[in-house]
Structures are given as structure tokens and as C-alpha cells.
Homo-oligomer: A and B are copies of this chain.
């Protein structure tokens, strides 16, 4: 399993997403933190895939490339990090 975390700031909306069969779930939301350590990031978008291969398939999908090319330039900033989640407790 692999989880793709994407935080960004400065956008007013999120466009359509791409359907990838290997994506198990996706969720999003806006920052509600009270610790003031968000560094100006305002939105979270997180997708979970069956495998890191699923992530690769997703980000290389032509529809995703087209979406990213339109979406990223309108953001003030963006950070993406992927990880293989290990349960802590």
C-alpha cells in the first residue's frame, strides 16, 4: 500500500480528479489546525493506492498530467510526499 499526500495553499477550488482503478480511496479537506505550523498550506488531498506502482500509474496518466499542468501553476505553493504507511498502534 502507498499513500500520496498533497498539501497546497492559495487555491480556491479543486478540479476534477482522475479515476484510477488502483486507487483505493481519496479524501480531502481544508486546514483546521490550531498549532500554527501549517506554513501557509491550506488544503490537503490524500490518495491511497494498492501499491507504489499504482501511484506511478496515477501520476503518469495523461489525464493527470493535463490536470497537473493546469492546476499547479495557479497554486501559491505545493508539497507532495508519498509513503508506505506502517501502523503505529
**Interface set of A (CB-CB < 8 Å, partner B):** 2-5, 7, 17, 19, 23, 25-35, 37-39, 41, 43-46, 52, 55-56, 59, 78-89
A86 near B41 with CB under 8 A, answer no
- Given A7-B79, A41-B79, A79-B38, decide whether A32 and B2 contact each other with a Cβ distance below 8 A: yes
In the bound complex, CA of A33 to CA of B49 (Å): 13
In the bound complex, CA of A28 to CA of B3 (Å): 10
A83 near B52 with CB under 8 A, answer no
Counted per complex, copies of this chain come to 2
Instruction: Give the distance to chain B from A40, nearest Cβ to Cβ, in Å.
Output: 10
A84 near B5 with CB under 8 A, answer no
A selection of 28 A-B contacts at a CB cut-off of 8 Å is A3-B27, A7-B79, A19-B89, A23-B89, A26-B87, A26-B88, A27-B85, A27-B87, A28-B86, A29-B84, A29-B85, A30-B83, A32-B83, A34-B55, A34-B56, A34-B59, A34-B82, A35-B80, A37-B78, A37-B79, A37-B80, A38-B79, A41-B79, A41-B81, A43-B83, A44-B81, A44-B85, A45-B88
